[in-house]
């Protein structure tokens, strides 16, 4: 039997499938979303192996109106998708969206994710975006997902951040006290608008994160001030929950946006020494205590201990083949901009849009050899030769420059290395 909170969520999303994005909008421009939902990117972060998405089986649990599903389909060419949501209407909208964009290798179910084992399937990759924090018992949800995850599969999910979203949680409590959660959505939304418009100043509205443009839309109202079952978490909560579900953390999906070094003009030596003593999770916790700017704690998880990542050696690099992350290589806008910088010898800023992580500036003279990655996977030694010819450098200097750039780009998953036969 579904709990009363599950039933109210089902009813909410029957009425307002989320998010309210037009069916015809393409997901191909959503580069940051494509990065977050790419199986190849997640597997590379997990094991440093380049695993193609072709032929993989991917689950989207809590698909909503199918915007996430569309990005998943676009980020993972050749994969078969299985999709479920509590709300049958959300599943119908997802089906319409996918069909409109030509994706047919999809199986759709109006199903509670707690019943997923009924499908008798095991997945290579599971994505559930903006769902886990809505469950009465997120750990029980993680346990079910673990049972349908292949031994070397990856789960990508996220939790609302307790501090970043603190104002919204307070307002939810205030509007609950006023009985607004019991009213039909249009009426409750209008009362929130009236409440905000009558606050004494713009400062007061801004402090409550009011934005009249965004909240013209009832779906956005229901996703924030009037969202039932919403909960906030911190990194130690995530670590406890994964432990209870017997899952291991690969890393945060936007790991480099949680780097304490981002917070300082120059980090004092004593602080660097102390932070180096902390585990990666405690470093992330330190970051969120100082500067909680991320709405979501977005993470990749795996069966515990199923992977260990060793950094590549110079020999691995020099004997290997390097390629652009397929999310970039398949993106027409990126190809155009990168190609233009290559042709015209311009500086190029590498970054995942919407992210401060990995903003690497590539100088025009380095584009002369890096640009050839647009042709496809390239032996690193060929890039060294190209750098050598273009810049008339000593061979050792060319090699050093190429490896410095490639390792920097690889750290942020812009490029991937196949070290070749061992
Ligand atoms: C905030 S929406 C997110 C939609 C989509 N994942 C996205 O990010 O665009 C949450 C969705 O999770 C679904 N959901 C909540 N609890 C669920 C459960 N136990 N099983 C399946 N779906 C669930 C809701 O019906 C709703 O469509």
Residue 278 lies in a domain: no
How far is ligand 1, taken at its centre, from the CA of residue 84, in Å? 9
> pLDDT value at position 353?
73
Please report, for the domain that includes residue 130, its CATH number: 3.40.50.150
pLDDT in tens, 192-209: 999 999 999 999 999 999
43 lines ligand 1 (CB under 6 A): no
How far is ligand 1, taken at its centre, from the CA of residue 242, in Å? 20
129 lines ligand 1 (CB under 6 A): yes
Asked whether residue 138 falls in the same domain as residue 215, the answer is no
Residue 175 domain boundaries = 170-223
Given pLDDT bands bounded at 50, 70 and 90, which one contains residue 1? Answer: low
Given a cut of 80, whether residue 356 has pLDDT beyond it is no
Asked if residue 369 lies in contact with residue 383, where contact means CB atoms within 8 angstroms, the answer is yes
End-to-end CA distance of the chain: 54
Torsion sign over Cα 258, 261, 263, 268: positive
Asked whether residue 135 falls in the same domain as residue 245, the answer is yes
9 lines ligand 1 (CB under 6 A): yes
pLDDT in tens, 159-178: 999 999 999 999 999 999 99
Residue 275 lies in a domain: no
The arithmetic mean of pLDDT across residues 405-422, rounded, is 90
Q: How many domains does the chain have?
A: 3
Residue 136 has which token pair?
Answer: 């009465």
> pLDDT value at position 398?
87
Torsion sign over Cα 372, 374, 376, 379: positive
Residue 267 lies in a domain: no
Residue 403 lies in a domain: yes
Asked whether residue 182 falls in the same domain as residue 51, the answer is no
342 lines ligand 1 (CB under 6 A): no
Asked whether residue 98 falls in the same domain as residue 159, the answer is yes
Asked whether residue 143 falls in the same domain as residue 234, the answer is yes
The arithmetic mean of pLDDT across residues 315-331, rounded, is 96
Asked whether residue 158 falls in the same domain as residue 174, the answer is no
Asked whether residue 336 falls in the same domain as residue 366, the answer is yes
Asked if residue 172 lies in contact with residue 225, where contact means CB atoms within 8 angstroms, the answer is yes
Residue 270 lies in a domain: no
d(CA 163, CA 301): 23
Write the DSSP symbol of residue 122. -
Given pLDDT bands bounded at 50, 70 and 90, which one contains residue 388? Answer: confident
Asked whether residue 77 falls in the same domain as residue 12, the answer is yes
Asked whether residue 106 falls in the same domain as residue 188, the answer is no
Asked whether residue 157 falls in the same domain as residue 202, the answer is no
134 lines ligand 1 (CB under 6 A): yes
d(CA 284, CA 293): 12
Which residues are paired to 360 by β-bridges? 350
How would you class 95 by CB atoms within 10 Å of its CB: exposed for 0-12, middle for 13-18, buried for 19 or more? middle
302 lines ligand 1 (CB under 6 A): no
pLDDT in tens, 179-191: 999 999 999 999 9
> pLDDT value at position 147?
98
How far is ligand 1, taken at its centre, from the CA of residue 56, in Å? 23
CB atoms within 10 A of CB 42: 27
């Amino acid at each position: 039997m579904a709990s009363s909170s599950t039933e109210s969520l089902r009813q909410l999303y029957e009425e307002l499938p989320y998010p309210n994005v037009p069916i015809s909008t393409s997901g191909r421009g959503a580069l940051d979303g494509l990065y977050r939902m790419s199986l190849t990117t997640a597997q590379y972060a997990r094991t440093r192996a380049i695993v193609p998405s072709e032929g993989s089986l991917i689950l989207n649990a809590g698909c909503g109106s199918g915007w996430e599903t569309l990005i998943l389909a676009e980020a993972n060419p050749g994969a078969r998708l299985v999709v479920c949501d509590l709300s049958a209407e959300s599943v119908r909208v997802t089906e319409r969206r996918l069909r409109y964009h030509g994706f047919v290798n999809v199986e759709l179910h109006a199903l509670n994710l707690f019943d997923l084992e009924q499908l008798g399937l095991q997945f290579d990759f599971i994505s559930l975006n903006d769902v886990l924090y809505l469950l009465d018992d997120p750990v029980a949800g993680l346990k079910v997902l673990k049972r349908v995850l292949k031994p070397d599969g990856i789960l990508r999910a996220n939790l609302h951040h307790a501090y970043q979203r603190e104002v919204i949680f307070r307002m939810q409590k205030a509007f609950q006290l006023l009985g607004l959660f019991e009213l039909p959505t249009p009426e409750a939304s209008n009362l929130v608008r009236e409440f905000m418009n009558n606050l004494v100043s713009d400062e007061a509205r801004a402090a409550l994160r009011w934005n009249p443009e965004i909240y013209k839309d009832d779906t956005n109202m229901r996703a924030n001030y009037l969202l039932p079952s919403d909960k906030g978490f911190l990194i130690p909560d995530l670590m406890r929950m994964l432990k209870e579900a017997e899952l291991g953390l690969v890393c945060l999906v936007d790991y480099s946006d949680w780097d304490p070094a981002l917070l300082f003009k120059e980090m004092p030596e004593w602080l660097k020494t102390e932070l180096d003593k902390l585990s990666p999770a405690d470093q992330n916790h330190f970051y969120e205590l100082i500067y909680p700017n991320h709405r979501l704690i977005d993470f990749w998880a795996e069966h515990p201990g199923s992977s260990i990542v060793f950094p590549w050696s110079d020999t691995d690099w020099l004997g290997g083949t390097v390629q652009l992350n397929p999310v970039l290589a398949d993106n027409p806008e990126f190809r155009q901009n990168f190609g233009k910088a290559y042709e015209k010898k311009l500086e190029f800023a590498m970054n995942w849009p919407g992210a401060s992580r990995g903003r690497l500036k590539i100088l025009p003279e380095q584009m002369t050899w890096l640009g050839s990655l647009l042709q496809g996977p390239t032996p690193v030694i060929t890039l060294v030769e190209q750098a050598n010819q273009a810049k008339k450098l000593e061979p050792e200097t060319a090699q050093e420059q190429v490896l410095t750039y490639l390792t920097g780009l690889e750290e942020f998953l812009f490029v991937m290395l196949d070290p070749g036969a061992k």
